[in-house]
Amino acid sequence: MLNKLRNKKTAKKIWIILTVLILPAFLFWGFGSFLRDKQEVTYTGKIFGRKISQLEYKEALDAVRNQALIQFGDRFPEIEKEMNFDYMAWERLILLAEAKRRKIKANDQEIVELVRSYPFFQKKGEFDSQVYSQMLQYVFRAQPRIFEEQARSNLMISKLYKEITKGVVLTDEEIKREYRRQNEQVDLYYIAAITNDFMKDLSVGEEEAKSYFSRNSFQFETPLSFNMEYVSIPTETQTDSAAKETIKKMAGILDKNDDFQKAAKELGLEIKETGFLSQADPIPGIGWSPQVLSLISGLKTGGFAPPVYIDKNYYIFRLKERKKPYIPEFESIKDKVKEELKKEKGKAAARQKIEDCLAELRSASKDNPKAVDFAKTAKNHGLKSDSTGLFSYGSYIENIGSSDIFFSVSLDLKEEAFSGIIEMPTGFYIIRLKSRAAIDENKFTEEKEELSSKLLTQKKDEYFGRFFNDLKKRNRD
C-alpha cells in the first residue's frame, strides 16, 4: 500500500492519456458465463505463451471496469451495457505484457501524483483522504492497494503508448490539407462511364454462362450461415435490474439441463427463430449486429451466446443449425451467373470507353490545356458529362453518391487540369476543377494550433492502433 498517498498533502497534478482500448458496442457482460458452451469458454488462457491465472484475469477485469468508471463517471450505468469487459481485460493483459517486456515501469511517486490528480478524490481543490476511502469503498469497491496497483498498470500502458508514438509527427502540409478538407467547397466538371449504361444491350448465352461459372465458381460460394433461436427480454416494460434477474434465472435453468424451450416456458418468454443468415445479413426483427454473429460463429451447435443488449432489449441466442459454405449447382443459380457476367462485360466496356476518352483529353491538353472541351470530348465517346455544383467533403452528390473520393482527388487539382480515372461503385469518372470556394487563410492561422493538436492525437492513435493489432496477431500466432 502506498501509505504516503494518505499522508502527503501536496503533489504535482498529472493528467494521463490512457491508450485507446476497443469498446465493442452492444455486448453485455454479466451473466454470460452461465450461458456459454461449457467446452468453449474458460476465463484463463495464454498471452505470448505465458499462462494467465484466474486471479490475474479477475484483476484485469476489475481494472478495466474501474477505468470505465473514471472515464464515464455518471454515464457509466448507461455505457456499461455496451462494454465487453471480458475483451477489454484480455487486451489490457496483452498491453501490460508488452510494457513489461520493454521494461516499462511506474514508481510510487508517479502513482501518488496520478491518484491525487483525480478531482473525485478532492475536496475544495485538495486531495482528501476521507473522500478517497469512501470512493474506493462505495464506488470502485476496491482496497487502496488494489486501486493503486491498477493505477500503476494504467501508467505503464500510458508510457507504452508514448514510447510507441513518440516518433509520430505532423507536417504543415498535412495540417493545411485537413483544414481544407474540413472547410473548403468545390464545384467539379465530370465525365462518367456508367456500368449500367453499357449493360443494356448485352446478352449472355447458356454456354457462355457455363464457361464463366466454371472459371469463377468461387464467386458464387454460399457463405457460412446460421439458424438461431432467441428470446428477448425488454427493459422498457420492466426495470433493468428485473431484466437481469430474468437472465439470471434463465441461466440457472440452462446450466442444469440446457433445455431452451423449458427455460423460456418457465419464464414466460417466447422463442423466435431467425432462419438461415450469413454474417453479412441483418437479423430479422432486430437488425444488423456483427457482435451477435461473431459470437454465434464461435459456438457449437446447440450452444448459447452471452446475453446481448440491443436497442433497449436483452437477447439470449442459441445456435440451432450451422450450414457450411458450398458452391451451388449451375442450374440452380444460372440467372445470377448471367447477371454477374453481364455486369463484368458492362464494366469492361465502360472502362475501355473512359480510357479512350482520357487518352484524347491528354493528347489535346498537350498543346493548350485551356482549349480542352470536356463536354465535347465526352460526347465523342458516347459518355455523359455534367458538373456537381458546390459541395463539401462528406456530402452527397446527386446522381453520383458519396463525395469523399471526388473531394480528396480535387484537393490536388490545379486549374484546367483533370484527374485520372476514378472508379466508383456505379462506374468510372474523370473530374476537372470548375471553381473552388477557398479557405479563409486568416481563420486557418487562428485555428491551426488547435487543429494540429487534434490531428496529432488522431495520428498517434491510428499508429498505436496498428501497432496493437500487430501485437494481438503475434499473440495469436
- C-beta neighbour count of 407 within 10 angstroms: 23
Contact 217, 209 (CB under 8 A): no
CB hemisphere CA count around 261 (13 angstroms): 1
Contact 424, 399 (CB under 8 A): no
User: What percentage of the chain exceeds 90 in pLDDT?
Assistant: 60
Specify the DSSP class assigned to residue 299. S
Q: What is the pLDDT of residues 172-209, one digit of tens each?
A: 999 999 999 999 999 999 999 999 999 988 989 999 99
How far is residue 399's CA from residue 426's CA, in Å, rounded to a whole number?
10
Name 396's bridge partners. 402
Segments of the chain assigned to CATH 3.10.50.40? 222-323
- Annotation: CATH topology of 185-209+333-437: Chitinase A; domain 3 (3.10.50)
pLDDT tops 70 at residue 335 = yes
3-state SS class at 172: helix
E strand or H helix at 186, and its extent? strand 185-194
Specify the DSSP class assigned to residue 153. H
Angle at 244 between CA 242 and CA 246, to 5 degrees: 70
265, 364, 245: which is closest to 307 by C-alpha?
A: 245
Contact 256, 35 (CB under 8 A): no
242, 22, 12, 196: which is closest to 117 by C-alpha?
A: 12
pLDDT tops 50 at residue 257 = yes
Mean pLDDT of 431-436: 94
Mean pLDDT of 43-57: 81
Whole-number average pLDDT of the chain? 86
The full DSSP string for 98-152 is HHHHTT----HHHHHHHHHH-GGGEETTEE-HHHHHHHIIIII---HHHHHHHHH
How far is residue 300's CA from residue 304's CA, in Å, rounded to a whole number?
9
Q: Grid coordinates in use for 346?
A: 458492362
Q: What pLDDT, on the 0 to 100 scale, is given for residue 422?
A: 97
Q: Grid coordinates in use for 247?
A: 437472465
Q: What is the pLDDT of residues 389-422, one digit of tens each?
A: 999 999 999 889 888 999 999 999 988 899 999 9
Contact 464, 19 (CB under 8 A): yes
3-state SS class at 225: strand
19 compared with 393, residue with greater pLDDT: 393
**Mode of pairing for the β-strands spanning 313-323 and 225-234:** antiparallel
Q: What is the pLDDT of residues 139-160, one digit of tens each?
A: 999 999 999 999 999 999 999 9
Lowest mean pLDDT among 36-45, 161-170, 172-181, 411-420: 36-45
- pTM across the whole model: 0.66
- Annotation: CATH topology of 222-323: Chitinase A; domain 3 (3.10.50)
